[in-house]
């Protein structure tokens, strides 16, 4: 058997699902793009998508619900200057495509933009090979998926008799996308995505506390073997049992140590969104116009990297057909660049960075993060914690909010400890970390050598759109943070 090059193989899969069943071919796509290009535009694209998804949930020892869905459609976009015209349809047909093309071309009625020549023969865009083009839903049958969730519940209850309730969920998605652009570029991706989550409730002396764990990525359900499940269960149970012993959190200004991995969500929210190109082009980010300036303490290097194999936030190509990249945003404290989609890159006169992302064919692309993380330093996590005279050691986070313009953020710590004289004293509950993203970066005083990515659970929201992402960081000490508590 002769196999095709992976990029061409993905394109063949996309055509078999998104073009062939509807009597479409590359010539008809080019014709629709020519219709859009009859008026003056700067860019145009067609975005086809087929998504099959499945979910299962367990509660009280019973798999109580299951869901299965198929969604498909096409989004048609024209861009002129800063303006975008967009139409979408779940009817993938030549008639619907041409109707949408005629609708969006009206954007350029004012004639302010240049006329883009729509290319004839398509050019297959370069892409990466970061994950297998599999259908993860088919990697286990229904009986096996139910048994997997039941195994998670038994593991959690066996770990400690104080566990009184277990909730577990399993989700899978098979996503096939294809992009055809006015410049003749055509690209496709086949994106598997799975996730397993476990939440437990522990009870002791009438007090109840919750803990959670889980993970996933771009692979099949076979990834969730017993050792991985045990890790997720341990995380959930240990968090719940720790919180059973927690005391009210002290409040005030203090030094805070953030643990590795998922606490990088604070970096994602407080820093990452402020480095997205659209906010900076409009001048609404606290980082606007600051490229080349020091925005963080020495040693702080932040990346957005969509090229990590099998990771939840990774992409072979973004949703505009550009290959994903490893983008250094802050290097040794100096701001190096922003993440860009095609529109903002053109207006800011820079190159796209492979960060044009959209939730689905029914949404327009915008600059979005992939896997955002901070590189490690030279300190051990033990010596960082030991350096605390009085302060908070936060190892896990719940929800948070950030104001892009000011950079101000508020995050709740779901698992944290009070430290005095370099020693952990007791777990605390109700701690919120309050600060300003750009200011917090300048207060980083110690960086651990234990950089870790999260387990694969992140979803990022922006302007009503959600996309899967990854976060990560090493253990990190930040001085002079404001902590809101309940003590």
Any idea which residue has 């990854």 for tokens?
Answer: 470
- Across the range 122-138, mean pLDDT stands at 91
Percent of the chain with pLDDT over 90: 87
Q: Comparing 106-120, 284-298, 342-356, which segment has the lowest mean pLDDT?
A: 106-120
The answer to whether the CB of 477 falls within 8 A of the CB of 387 is yes
Any idea which residue has 């989004």 for tokens?
Answer: 75
Structure confidence at residue 399 as a pLDDT band (50, 70, 90): confident
Q: What's the pLDDT tens digit per position in 149-163?
A: 999 999 999 999 999
Parallel, antiparallel or unpaired: strands 163-181 and 476-484: unpaired
pLDDT of residue 71: 97
Structure confidence at residue 182 as a pLDDT band (50, 70, 90): very high
pTM of the model: 0.94
Tokens of 134: 């599999």
pLDDT of residue 14: 97
Average pLDDT, the chain: 94
Contacts of 237 (CB under 8 A, 6+ apart): 156, 159, 160, 163, 200, 202, 211
Burial annotation 257-288 (CB, 10 A radius, 16+ → b, else e): bbbbbbbbbbbbbbbbbbbbbbbbbeeebbbe
Percent of the chain with pLDDT over 70: 96
Contacts of 405 (CB under 8 A, 6+ apart): 284, 285, 286
Closest CA to 288 of 272, 297, 301, 277: 277
Burial annotation 98-127 (CB, 10 A radius, 16+ → b, else e): bbbbeebbebbeeeebeebebbeebebbeb
Number of separate helices (H) and strands (E) present in the chain: 10, 24
Tokens of 70: 């198929």
Residue 276, CB-side half-sphere exposure with 13 Å CA sphere: 27
Tokens of 403: 């104001």
Q: What's the pLDDT tens digit per position in 369-387?
A: 999 999 999 999 999 999 9
- Across the range 8-34, mean pLDDT stands at 96
Structure confidence at residue 116 as a pLDDT band (50, 70, 90): low
Q: What's the pLDDT tens digit per position in 59-87?
A: 988 998 899 999 999 999 999 999 999 99
Q: Where are the alpha helices (DSSP H) in 378-460?
A: 381-386, 437-442
pLDDT of residue 119: 56
pLDDT of residue 272: 93
Q: Note every long-range contact of 210-213, with CB atoms under 8 Å and residues 24 or more positions apart, other chains counting.
A: 210/239, 210/240, 210/243, 211/235, 211/236, 211/237, 211/238, 211/239, 211/240, 211/241, 211/242, 211/243, 211/415, 212/236, 212/239, 212/414, 213/239, 213/455
Would the CA dihedral through 250, 253, 255, 261 be positive or negative?
positive
Any idea which residue has 């190509």 for tokens?
Answer: 317
Distance in angstroms (rounded) separating the CA atoms of residues 271 and 283 = 15
- Across the range 261-275, mean pLDDT stands at 91
- Across the range 100-106, mean pLDDT stands at 91
pLDDT of residue 121: 62
The answer to whether the CB of 218 falls within 8 A of the CB of 456 is no
Q: Is a pLDDT exceeding 50 seen at residue 476?
A: yes
For residue 422, the 8-state DSSP code is: T
The answer to whether the CB of 369 falls within 8 A of the CB of 318 is no
pLDDT of residue 1: 41
Any idea which residue has 């508590």 for tokens?
Answer: 485
């Amino acid at each position: 058997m002769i196999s095709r090059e992976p990029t061409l193989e993905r394109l063949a899969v996309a055509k078999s699902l998104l073009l062939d069943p509807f009597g479409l071919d590359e010539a008809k796509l080019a014709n629709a793009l020519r219709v859009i290009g009859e008026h003056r535009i700067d860019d145009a694209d067609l975005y086809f998508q087929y998504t099959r998804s499945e979910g299962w949930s367990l509660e009280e020892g019973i798999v109580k619900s299951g869901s299965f869905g198929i969604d498909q459609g096409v989004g048609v976009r024209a861009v002129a200057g800063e303006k975008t015209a967009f139409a979408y349809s779940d009817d993938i047909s030549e008639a619907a495509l041409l109707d949408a093309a005629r609708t969006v071309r009206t954007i350029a009625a004012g004639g302010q933009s240049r006329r883009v020549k729509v290319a004839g023969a398509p050019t297959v865009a370069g892409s990466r090979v970061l994950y297998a083009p599999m259908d993860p839903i088919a990697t286990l049958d229904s009986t096996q998926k139910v048994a997997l969730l039941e195994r998670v519940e038994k593991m959690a209850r066996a770990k400690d008799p104080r566990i009184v309730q277990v909730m577990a969920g399993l989700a899978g998605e098979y996503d096939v996308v294809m992009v055809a652009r006015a410049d003749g570029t055509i690209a496709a991706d086949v994106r598997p995505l799975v996730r397993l989550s476990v939440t437990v409730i522990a009870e002791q002396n009438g007090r109840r506390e919750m803990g959670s764990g889980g993970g996933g990525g771009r692979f099949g359900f076979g990834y969730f073997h017993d050792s991985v499940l045990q890790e997720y269960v341990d995380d959930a149970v240990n968090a719940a049992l720790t919180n059973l012993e927690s005391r009210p959190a002290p409040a005030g200004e203090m030094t805070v140590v953030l643990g590795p991995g998922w606490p990088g969500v604070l970096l994602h929210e407080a820093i990452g969104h402020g480095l997205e190109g659209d906010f900076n082009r409009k001048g609404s980010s606290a980082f606007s116009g600051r490229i080349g300036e020091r925005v963080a303490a020495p040693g702080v290097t932040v990346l957005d990297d969509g090229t990590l194999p099998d990771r939840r936030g990774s992409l072979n190509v973004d949703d505009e057909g550009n290959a994903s990249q490893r983008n250094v945003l802050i290097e040794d404290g100096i701001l190096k660049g922003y993440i860009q989609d095609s529109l903002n890159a053109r207006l800011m006169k820079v190159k796209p960075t492979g960060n044009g992302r959209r939730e689905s064919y029914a949404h327009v692309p915008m600059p979005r993060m992939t896997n955002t993380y901070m590189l490690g330093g030279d300190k051990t996590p033990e010596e960082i914690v030991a350096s605390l005279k009085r302060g908070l050691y936060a190892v896990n986070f719940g929800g948070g909010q950030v104001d892009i313009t000011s950079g101000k953020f508020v995050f709740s710590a779901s698992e944290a400890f009070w430290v005095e004289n370099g020693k952990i004293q007791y777990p605390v509950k109700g701690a919120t970390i309050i600060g300003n993203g750009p200011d917090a970066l300048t207060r980083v005083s110690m960086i651990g050598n234990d950089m870790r990515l999260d387990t694969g659970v992140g979803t990022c929201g922006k302007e009503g759109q959600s996309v899967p992402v990854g976060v990560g960081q090493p253990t990190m000490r930040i001085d002079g943070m404001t902590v809101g508590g309940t003590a």
